[in-house]
Amino acid sequence: MPSIIKKGTSASQYDLSKRTVILEPDILVVLSNNEFDELMNKYGSFIQPRILSDKNPSGCFIVNEKEANALSQNKEIKKYKDKSAPVEVPEPEME
């Protein structure tokens, strides 16, 4: 299943039809194939040019089909300050 890790210092928020996806720095987020497709359809023009790769070493998104590969790539990359606006991350609700 598609996995995304946001690099940088600020979280990013993306509203999908069934839920809001919040990408916090250095936290792995696993999406269903449908969620990933919707994310890329709605926000791909922003995310795509910012995906980290050998050709784009200053990218701020690690995107990989396999969780283990995304985590491995994340370990290799140092933290850096990005220019995205901070997003307030809500506290988890206690039951």
In a domain, 90, yes or no: no
Q: What is the pLDDT of residues 49-67, one digit of tens each?
A: 999 888 988 888 999 999 9
Write out the residue range of the structural domain in which residue 24 sits: 3-76
**What's the pLDDT at 51?**
93
Reported confidence tier of residue 82, pLDDT bands at 50, 70, 90: low
pTM for the model: 0.78
In a domain, 86, yes or no: no
Reported confidence tier of residue 77, pLDDT bands at 50, 70, 90: confident
In a domain, 88, yes or no: no
Domain count, the chain: 1
3-state helix, strand, coil in the chain (%, to 5): 30, 20, 50
In a domain, 69, yes or no: yes
Give the residue with greater pLDDT, 6 vs 92.
6
> Backbone phi, then psi, for 2, in 5-degree steps?
-60, 135
